[in-house]
Amino acid sequence: MVSRFYVTTPIYYVNAEPHLGHAYTTIVGDALTRWHRLLGDDVLYLTGTDEHGLKIRQAADAAGLSPKEFCDSIAPKFADAWERLDIANDDFIRTTEPRHHAAVTELLQRCYDAGDIELDTYSGKYCVACEEYYTDEELLEGDNCPIHKRPVDHFEEENYFFRLSRFQDRLLDWYAAHPGAIVPEFRGNEALGLIRGGLRDFSVSRTSLDWGIRLPWDDRHVAYVWFDALTNYLSATGFGDPSVDYTERWPVDYHLIGKDIIRHHCVYWPAMLMSAGVDLPKGWAVGGWLLVDGEKMAKSTGNVVNPLDLVDTVGVDGFRYYVLAETSYGSDGDFSYDGLVARYNSDLANNLGNLASRVATVVGKSCGGIGPAPRDDSPLAAAAATAVADTSAAWDAVTPSRALEATWSLIRATNAFLEANEPWKMTPGADLDAVMGDALEALRIVTLLAWPAVPSTADAIWARLGLDGSVADRRLPGDARWGGYPGGLTVTKGDPLFPRIRS
């Protein structure tokens, strides 16, 4: 039976263009889902854009456009950026789509019918940029927003509230029964801490807002951010469409999120689903921030890095590799241009690129350009088996940096094997063929394991080894077993895969 694997990124708010932070999470999701594609899983990888709310209305007004026109001008920039970064998402959802409208309406109605959404009056201090009310203790001197450091507004309005306060015990019981649902574990502990700290009801509607989805039972109110945004993960499964069985795709295997949205994804969202009688997600994988000069990248701090500018320097795969390998997923990473170039030169130019080039050069010179078959009892076979097992375990645990470390251990072992045997000094014959057959086979396995991170490079090496088709058509673990390189294939050298960059 084919197993299904469903992964989501947060939907990105279209008040700004795609930046490094967006790219980071989206590349992690892409590599993770590519790994599962190699396993033969039926993958659904979802990303998209969040297009409702006051900030969009304001940005549209400033641009002299209607909100929908404004969203239509920004959403394609995300879709284009992901295409340029080789993101193989299966679906791209926009919260202005009818299917999303249907899902939000259905979820709201279910929670309302369950008695967990009730009308109340809200008055408080509200930051428009955060779309959050703040308590006096949370505000800075002079009633300034702690994030934006500018004055908040006093709002008073009739709101519907979701009774989150009723869900504390149920959430704690659920998480106790599902240990490891949130990875890494320390991020799971943060979520539990938020729940144990006490839960406040949260507002799910606004009357002051017109750019959004109206509540099905009271059209004076428009759904406020959380019921609108979070529900996208269900919309893509067909939830709310009576002709579709959404449980064919739901529950999701992993929501990939940043650490700043743990409260909404790991506390609000499961409570909303419980209320609505919908199964909870199987997992959440929480990433840290990629900091630039020690600060979170944000429009307001002026340190926004456009990922597409970096691609011009290190290539798409160089950039993908860096963001996956440099930072342990879950922890904060510090992005720097020097770090990007250093990692490119060491891991890609000197290790992977050099291995591919050496192997092709020696086969070209001393084997007539025809790759020999590997030995069954090769000294590299054990290193290959370990790399396959460790890479696999690391992807299972959603730890891309460890997966790549495991894959690169086979590259290092193969380079060391070549340095020990010095095939470039050997005379053509059986001994040389044995060494080169082993190296070709190790490189073939590396190519399979590295494909999720560096897909176009992997496909290029695959073709240079003389192998048919694309890596995408291979299946693990079977195709990564030692001995798969048949020998007798034409090996080509080609241009350097990763020309060194002078730093």
Among residues 68, 149, 299, 365, the one annotated as catalytic is 299
Known active-site residue 148 = yes
Size of the site for Zn ion (CB under 5 A): 6
Q: How far is the CB of 129 from Zn ion (least distance, A)?
A: 4
Within 39-172, strands assigned E span 42-50, 91-94, 117-127, 132-134, 153-162
**Footprint on residues 111-170 left by Zn ion (CB under 5 A):** 127, 129-130, 145, 147-148
Q: What does the alpha-carbon distance between residue 267 and residue 168 come to, in Å, rounded to a whole number? A: 9
Q: Which of 71, 127, 266, 367 is catalytic?
A: 127
Task: For residue 111, indicate whether it is catalytic.
Answer: no
Binding mask 69-108 for Zn ion (x = CB under 5 A): ----------------------------------------
Q: Which residue has the tokens 């502990």?
A: 189
Q: Which helix (H) or strand (E) holds 254?
A: strand 254-258
Catalytic pick among 77, 130, 259, 264 = 130
Token representation of residue 315: 């290539």
Q: Would strands 117-127 and 153-162 be described as parallel, antiparallel, or unpaired?
A: antiparallel
**Is 266 one of the catalytic residues?**
no
Instruction: Report the nearest approach of Zn ion to the CB of residue 179 (Å).
Output: 35
Closer of 129 and 305 to Zn ion (Cβ): 129
465 and 489 in contact (C-beta within 8 Å)?
yes
Catalytic residue among 71, 145, 266, 367: 145
d(CA 396, CA 399): 8
Q: Is 380 helix (H, G, I), strand (E, B) or coil?
A: coil
Examine the residue annotation and report whether 154 is marked as an active-site residue of this protein: no
Measured at the alpha carbon of residue 23, what is the angle toward residues 22 and 25, in degrees to the nearest 5? Answer: 70
Spot the catalytic one: 259, 282, 296, 493: 296
Nearer to Zn ion, 130 or 192 (CB): 130
Q: In the complex with Zn ion, which residue's Cβ is closer, 134 or 335?
A: 134
Closer CB to Zn ion, 130 or 305, in the complex: 130
* CB of residue 352 to Zn ion, shortest distance in Å: 44
CB of 134 to Zn ion, least distance (A): 8
Minimum CB separation from Zn ion for residue 147, in Å?
A: 4
- Cα(88)–Cα(59) distance, integer angstroms: 30
CA distance 340 to 501: 10
DSSP state of 354: H
Residue type, 289: W
Nearer to Zn ion, 127 or 271 (CB): 127
Is residue 71 flagged as an active site residue? no
The minimum distance between CB 330 and Zn ion, in angstroms, equals: 26
DSSP 233-250: HHHTTTTT-TTS-GGGTP
Beta bridge pairs of residue 151: 144
Which residue is catalytic, options 77, 148, 178, 282? 148
259 classed as catalytic: no
Using the minimum distance from each CB to Zn ion, give the nearer residue, 146 or 277: 146
Verify whether residue 493 is a known catalytic residue. no
Angle at alpha carbon of residue 244, lines to 243 and 249, rounded to 5°: 175
225 binds Zn ion (CB under 5 A): no
Q: Which is nearer to Zn ion, 127 or 449 (CB)?
A: 127
120 vs 125: CA distance, rounded Å? 16
Q: Determine whether 299 is an active site residue.
A: yes
Which residue from 209, 205, 228 is spatially nearest to 217, judged by alpha carbons? 205
For Zn ion, the binding residues in 434-493 under the rule CB under 5 A are none
- Which residues participate in catalysis according to the annotation? 19, 22, 127, 130, 145, 148, 296, 299
| Residues in contact with Zn ion by the rule CB under 5 A | 127, 129-130, 145, 147-148
